[in-house]
């Protein structure tokens, strides 16, 4: 009988990075306070109904609940408050993605101008290009949603109550 050996089902993906960036008229710290909260992605991704967390900090797990019934469980791999970046890995999902690694970072471009960059590397369950195309489209939607969220958060209380999706459609 062979002795048990360490193993894991979590592996880094081998796909090409999908990188989406947007420059926003917003102070870098303010933007990081929104997009840099691992538990707060439902604030700027309208397709999420809510997020549930287990733990805090590096190693924490979040479950993202989507309006269409899909679920994604992710683990926070790294987070640097000063450098304004973090990475995470999907460990379970119902979206048809075998492996996914993602990163988000915020860079100050001036006193009231910032760039947010979202990088995703993913392998689909089935090696169909359309799966990655869907992921790319989702990253583009997230990019504009981040812009809308920052814009709305910088406005009045009336503007804050205005739905991000309504703003995107206008």
Mean pLDDT in residue range 34-58: 92
- Domain assignment of residue 24, given as a range: 18-169
Q: Is residue 2 part of a domain?
A: no
Residue 99 buriedness (CB in 10 A; 0-12 / 13-18 / 19+): buried
Please provide residue 152's backbone torsions phi and psi, each rounded to the nearest 5 degrees: -65, -40
Q: Is residue 80 part of a domain?
A: yes
- Average pLDDT taken over every residue of the chain: 78
Residue 123 corresponds to which tokens in the numbers above?
């392998």
Residue in the structure block whose two tokens are 């990019």: 143
Q: Is residue 12 part of a domain?
A: no
CATH number of residue 47's parent domain: 3.30.530.20
- Which tens digit of pLDDT belongs to each residue from 64-123? 999 999 999 999 999 999 999 999 999 998 888 888 899 999 999 998 899 999 999 888
Q: How many domains does the chain have?
A: 1
Q: Is residue 137 part of a domain?
A: yes
């Amino acid at each position: 009988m062979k002795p048990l050996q360490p193993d894991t089902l979590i592996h880094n993906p081998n796909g090409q990075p999908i990188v989406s960036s947007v420059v926003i008229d917003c102070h870098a710290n303010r933007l990081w306070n929104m997009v840099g909260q691992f538990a707060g992605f439902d604030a700027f991704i309208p397709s999420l109904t809510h997020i549930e967390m287990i733990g805090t900090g590096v190693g924490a797990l979040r479950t993202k609940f989507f309006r269409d019934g899909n679920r994604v469980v992710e683990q926070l791999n790294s987070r640097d408050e000063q450098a304004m970046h973090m990475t995470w890995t999907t460990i379970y999902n119902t979206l048809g993605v075998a492996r996914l690694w993602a990163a988000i970072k915020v860079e100050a471009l001036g006193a009231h101008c910032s760039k947010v960059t979202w990088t995703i590397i993913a392998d689909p369950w089935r090696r169909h290009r359309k799966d990655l195309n869907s992921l790319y489209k989702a990253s583009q939607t997230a990019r504009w949603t981040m812009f809308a969220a920052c814009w709305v958060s910088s406005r009045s209380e009336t503007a804050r109550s205005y739905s991000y999706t309504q703003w995107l459609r206008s």
